[in-house]
């Protein structure tokens, strides 16, 4: 998936913000690596009766402000380095939104498309069993990420509850089905949040969303929800890229119709009225808004100078390398960083966890209006900081989050 180490990218981003803030070197050293990582190798019985051993990880970056929080990814290219980086980004993301969490992340090295449903269930349960000793509602709370979904969260919650002697622990994972203690609004929260950030950025940049065009890489949970909410704001989606190919139509693509088409045909690539497009062309298209919503390291020194979008909204985690960041800054592109742009997911995960503790559940309107308020406030605060310190939005977001974290670390007596 990546030649550039996501951990090196995360550490470089931290180093730059630490320098600007003149951060205590002990705090800096503490934050360069996760506080705890676990590697597990666990057996899963396959449908044909054989047993396969899978490798998984869980990283807990920091818990100065609260328990670790972050998704679980099922992907053949998951590595310990990637999981560590993702856990670091989660710490800073929670800080940007003022959530009482540190960062966590998990992953299993597996291509889930090769598994049957029952194999997927046994793998999900076995992984949670293997890391059960270090997770829990007050310790570390996983959630969905790439290739994991509410059904998988329900199996994981059930398995953890068995591990705890049969008491149901809904708050051990978020992103669950509603019936198992999930929150209304969680499944589309990341995309909804992305579009709130795009809308706030567009206001500052003078982009009229009713006349704007957007290009999206990735049409999974986050990419498809972002496309749907952007279309509702009046934005014309002219290109969408998926793992098996992309589509382009200058007159616009209706995301709802595309979702229905994919549900029937299993792919977006043959969608009528569009022409094929590859990733290289996608990133360099003439458009107002570019949304990477797939994986890390997509915007690099190799393509950054050819990006024409005025606004780049990082829906994915870590899609831009530090070299590409610099190029985009020089070219005057406005970038909203992942730790702000895609924080809608963890924000509604936080609401879900709070509701699980209260055993009292909010309406969709309550969830969405609280999300709206938090995202608008976070954008305004980071934007103001970027203006005040004359730095990009990523640096401002890191500085804001890091200052908060440093205060918590100091007052706990860790530095």
d(CA 338, CA 93): 8
Among 8, 29, 243, 364, interactor with ligand NAD by CB under 6 A = 243
Binding pattern to ligand NAD, positions 330-369, x when CB under 6 A? ------------x--x------------------------
Shortest reach from residue 254's CB to ligand NAD, in Å: 18
Among 5, 279, 284, 303, interactor with ligand NAD by CB under 6 A = 279
Among 120, 146, 227, 268, interactor with ligand NAD by CB under 6 A = 146
Tokens of 145: 């990420």
Contact 293, 220 (CB under 8 A): yes
d(CA 170, CA 253): 38
Phi and psi torsions of 245, nearest 5°: 135, 165
d(CA 140, CA 88): 14
Binding pattern to ligand NAD, positions 201-240, x when CB under 6 A? ----------------xxxxxxx-----------------
Where would I find the H helices in 97-149? 117-131
Shortest reach from residue 299's CB to ligand NAD, in Å: 12
Tell me if 183 contacts ligand NAD by CB under 6 A.
Answer: no
Catalytic residue among 69, 93, 105, 176: 105
- Assign 102 to helix, strand or coil: strand
Cβ-closest residue to ligand NAD?
220
Binding pattern to ligand NAD, positions 81-120, x when CB under 6 A? ----------------------------------------
Where would I find the H helices in 132-220? 150-163, 189-205
Tell me if 124 contacts ligand NAD by CB under 6 A.
Answer: no
- Which residue's CB is nearer to ligand NAD, number 317 or number 401? 317
Binding pattern to ligand NAD, positions 298-327, x when CB under 6 A? -----------------xxx----------
In sequence order, the β-bridge partners of residue 336 are 313
Tell me if 295 contacts ligand NAD by CB under 6 A.
Answer: yes
Shortest reach from residue 145's CB to ligand NAD, in Å: 5
Q: What residue has token string 């913000």?
A: 17
Shortest reach from residue 67's CB to ligand NAD, in Å: 18
Angle between helices 80-96 and 393-411 (to 10 degrees): 90
Contact 374, 192 (CB under 8 A): no
d(CA 293, CA 163): 35
Q: Of 348, 374, 379, nearest to 190 (Cα)?
A: 348
Shortest reach from residue 203's CB to ligand NAD, in Å: 23
- Which residue's CB is nearer to ligand NAD, number 72 or number 131? 72
Site for ligand NAD in 126-145 (CB under 6 A): 144-145
213-252: b (≥16 Cβ within 10 Å) or e: bbbbbbbebbbbbbbbbbbeeebbbbbbbbeeebbbbeee
d(CA 138, CA 358): 14
Among 13, 147, 300, 356, interactor with ligand NAD by CB under 6 A = 147
For residue 105, indicate whether it is catalytic. yes
Q: Of 349, 354, 361, nearest to 179 (Cα)?
A: 361
Size of the site for ligand NAD (CB under 6 A): 24
Among 2, 11, 91, 190, interactor with ligand NAD by CB under 6 A = 190
In sequence order, the β-bridge partners of residue 37 are 59
**7: burial class by Cβ within 10 Å (0-12, 13-18, 19+)?**
buried
**For residue 318, what is the DSSP state?**
S
- Which residue's CB is nearer to ligand NAD, number 247 or number 399? 247
Backbone region of residue 341 per phi and psi (left: phi > 0; alpha: psi in -120 to 50; beta: other values): alpha
Shortest reach from residue 141's CB to ligand NAD, in Å: 13
Shortest reach from residue 270's CB to ligand NAD, in Å: 15
Tell me if 182 contacts ligand NAD by CB under 6 A.
Answer: no
Catalytic residues: 105
- Residue numbers of the site for ligand NAD (CB under 6 A)? 144-147, 190, 217-223, 241-243, 279, 293-295, 315-317, 342, 345
């Amino acid at each position: 998936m990546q030649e550039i180490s996501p951990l090196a990218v995360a550490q470089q981003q931290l180093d730059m913000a630490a320098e600007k803030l003149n951060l205590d070197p002990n705090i800096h050293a503490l934050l360069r690596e996760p506080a705890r990582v676990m590697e597990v190798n666990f057996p899963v019985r396959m449908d044909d009766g054989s047993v396969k051993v899978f490798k998984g990880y869980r990283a807990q970056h920091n818990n100065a402000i609260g328990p670790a929080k972050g998704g679980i990814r099922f992907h053949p290219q998951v590595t310990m380095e990637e999981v560590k980086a993702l856990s670091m980004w989660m710490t800073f993301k929670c800080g940007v939104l003022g959530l009482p969490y540190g960062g966590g992340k998990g992953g299993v090295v597996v291509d889930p498309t090769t598994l049957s449903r029952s194999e997927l269930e046994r793998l999900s349960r076995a992984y949670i069993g293997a890391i059960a000793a270090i997770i829990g509602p007050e310790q570390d709370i996983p959630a969905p990420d790439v290739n994991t979904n509410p059904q998988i969260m329900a199996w994981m919650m059930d398995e953890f509850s068995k591990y705890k002697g049969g008491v149901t622990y809904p708050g051990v994972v978020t992103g669950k089905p509603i019936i198992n203690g999930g929150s209304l609004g969680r499944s589309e929260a990341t995309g909804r949040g992305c579009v709130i950030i795009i809308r706030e950025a567009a206001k500052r940049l003078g982009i009229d969303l009713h006349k704007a065009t957007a290009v999206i890489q990735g049409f999974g949970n986050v990419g498809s929800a972002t496309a749907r909410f952007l279309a509702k704001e009046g934005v014309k989606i002219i290109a969408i890229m998926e793992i098996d190919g992309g589509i382009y139509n200058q007159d616009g693509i209706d995301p709802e119709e595309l979702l229905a088409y994919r549900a029937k045909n299993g792919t977006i690539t043959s969608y009528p009225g569009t022409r094929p497009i590859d990733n290289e062309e996608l990133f360099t298209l003439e458009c107002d808004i570019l949304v990477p919503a797939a994986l890390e390291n997509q915007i690099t020194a190799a393509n950054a100078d050819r990006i024409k979008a005025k606004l780049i909204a990082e829906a994915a985690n870590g899609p831009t390398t530090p070299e590409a960041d610099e190029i985009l800054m020089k070219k005057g592109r406005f970038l909203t960083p992942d730790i702000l742009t895609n924080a809608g997911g963890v924000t509604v995960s936080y609401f879900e966890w709070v509701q699980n503790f209260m055993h009292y559940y909010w309406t969709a309107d309550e969830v969405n209006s609280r999300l709206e308020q938090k995202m608008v406030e976070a954008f305004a605060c980071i934007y103001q900081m970027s203006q005040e310190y004359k730095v990009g939005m990523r640096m401002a977001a890191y500085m804001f989050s890091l200052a908060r974290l440093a205060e918590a670390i100091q007052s706990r007596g860790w530095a």
